[in-house]
Structure 1
Amino acid sequence: MQEVLSEIVRRVQQVQPVPPLEHQLVLLLVAAVLVVPRPLWRVSRMLVTIAHEGGHALGALLTGRRLAGIRLHTDTSGLTVSRGPARGPGMVATLLAGYPAAAVLGLAGAAVLGTGRAVAFLWVLLVALALMLLQIRNLYGLLVLLVVGGALGAATWSLEAGVLSWLAHLLCWVLLLAAPRPVVELLATGRHPGSDAGQLARLTGVPERLWQLLFLLVTTASSVAGAALVLPLQEWVTRWWAG
């Protein structure tokens, strides 16, 4: 076990090559294919849901609430239950943390990937999945996390550094592109009293539509900022100027 941990630490500390501009554009295109078409969107949306519920869980813990469980459903929705005061800043922060979570995770990943720490980013995701696994309260959610975590763990352990860099950047692109879409869908379908925005409206008196727009602003801004960090813009400008 000590040898395994030592090997994990060694890999996490390594610096992997950052894909050049052409490869980043290919990864961006692949991520778009995974996010835009509706059949594939059901798969990529589950990744967003995992981040969404992880955001609720983190928000609850950071505000002193007690986490009671997480569920992932076959329709790609989820539910995070926490115990604590039904009103107040803690509940508001917990509800606020859901929709922006995927975009903020993508933004943080972009910042890490810019330093060449692709494997470190992947291991952070693995640790987060393992912690969520402890809180899963339904069989489907358990299977989803085992499949996603198992595939990611196997890839991180067996693939070479260059391929892992591609994988980490692809996951980052999927998060950045996919994060705003559930908010757009929420805006398109109108009011939902049971949604995060609907609950925030009841707790604060601020209209539900304004909360939806705030979610859209945060997710879009985080995604744009993350994209700017991931793309080697200096290389792009240098080529354009030279050409």
Structure 2
Amino acid sequence: MHLEPHISFGPHPDLGVVAEVAVGNPHTEQVLRKYHFRQHPESGLYFLPRDAPYNRVLRAATGAARVLQDAGLSVATDPRLMVPPPVPQSPGTPARHAVPAQSLTALTAELHAVDRAMDAAEILQELLDEDFGAMGELEQLISATATWCERLDTDAGRELGSRLHTIANHVAFLGYRIADVEGDLAVMPEVIPADAPPLAATPARPYEDFLPRYGARAQAAVAASPHRPGHSPIPPSPVAAPPPPGPARTR
């Protein structure tokens, strides 16, 4: 027997992201309006503004779906909603592929279920993947924000752009450091002992145990500035240019 869902979320060629309600339900309409869906007067579909940012649309659809499921209704969601729009690129620049969004929280949860070092390495590899890895997306976002600041064509904008370019360089360098660890994990035969406590029950060591030389910098970061109370930016330190990437590993 085929059962139709009470509500379906998906893309529409004219209205953008829409919700189709199979059975009239005042609670459903109330939830959709809470998440900024509006009803189209002709089709009866509930839709979000076409110019709404992707992350806002995704939060609205998933938030409404979760509330409706908790109320006992069946919800269907088109997987195409998980694919973000492509980032505009300059002519001649290869476009970054639009692929389903990656959740760092989901990767962390996945880590709690693996026992082998090589499996932990694969999780780091997902983080570093050149097509959908979060590290590359973070570097791209910071670099784009730097360029945005420079387009203000002011001294403050250019100064902020310079700082952001330095941060993007730090992110790129961090990616190469993580890749080094991932490569070492991938060749380790070690397995977590059967009597080891769960990862969630293992207390994490404080960062001070690993980075004592950065203690003064951390204090300076939270100290008040005489020019900007409550904010004291750390002067950007020179970062060596990262080594050229080696051949990418695939899972």
Which structure's relative contact order is higher, taking Cα pairs within 8 Å and 6+ residues apart? 1
One fold, TM greater than 0.5?
no
More helix, by proportion: 1
Q: TM-score, normalised by structure 2?
A: 0.25
Of the two, which has the highest radius of gyration?
2
Q: TM-score, normalised by structure 1?
A: 0.26
